[in-house]
Amino acid sequence: MLLLSGCSLFDPCYGSDPAPIMPVSFYFTDNDGVNLVGDNGGAVHPDSVRVKSNMPPFIVNPSKEYRPKKGGFVFDVFPGQGKSGTTTYYIKLAEGFSDTLVVSYLVDNSGCFSSLEYTEFFHNGKEIIMEPETGYLQLVKE
């Protein structure tokens, strides 16, 4: 008996690839827009940033990358694992600093592949929007 899985030539999804799941990318600044996380003079070293979540996995290891145009590090997290909902991230920059980032999203499982759409973002209870040119969230430490 031969068992094949996947799409056939007659399947409408044949030959199509899923769209990549885009991360939620964020960076921290002061009120003047200066990035607070850098490995060369930033107020906080990138390795000291800790993230927890209200959804599994509860301990999150965000990817991070230095972005010269942002003057420091940008962090990426991937909420929305398979179903619509809200994920709350608890972010610790340094002793005494604690922030929340709430991300709401819709998952559409109709069609060939699931798609994910981010619908709302809140930083410490205040609604924020993605930067149109980068898609990043600027989290301002007041």
CA distance 94 to 108: 37
Query: What percent of the chain clears pLDDT 90, i.e. is strictly above it?
Result: 57
Task: Identify the pLDDT of residue 134.
Answer: 95
Task: Identify the pLDDT of residue 2.
Answer: 43
Task: Identify the pLDDT of residue 8.
Answer: 57
CA angle centred on 103, ends 91 and 127, rounded to 5°: 90
Exposed / middle / buried, residue 79 (Cβ in 10 Å: 0-12, 13-18, 19+): buried
CA distance 49 to 78: 16
User: Given a cut of 80, is residue 111 above it in pLDDT?
Assistant: no
The number of residues making up the chain comes to: 142
Spell out the domain ranges in the chain: 24-140
- Average model confidence (pLDDT) across the chain: 86
For residues 41-68, give the mean pLDDT: 90
User: Given a cut of 60, is residue 7 above it in pLDDT?
Assistant: no
- N-to-C CA span, the chain: 66
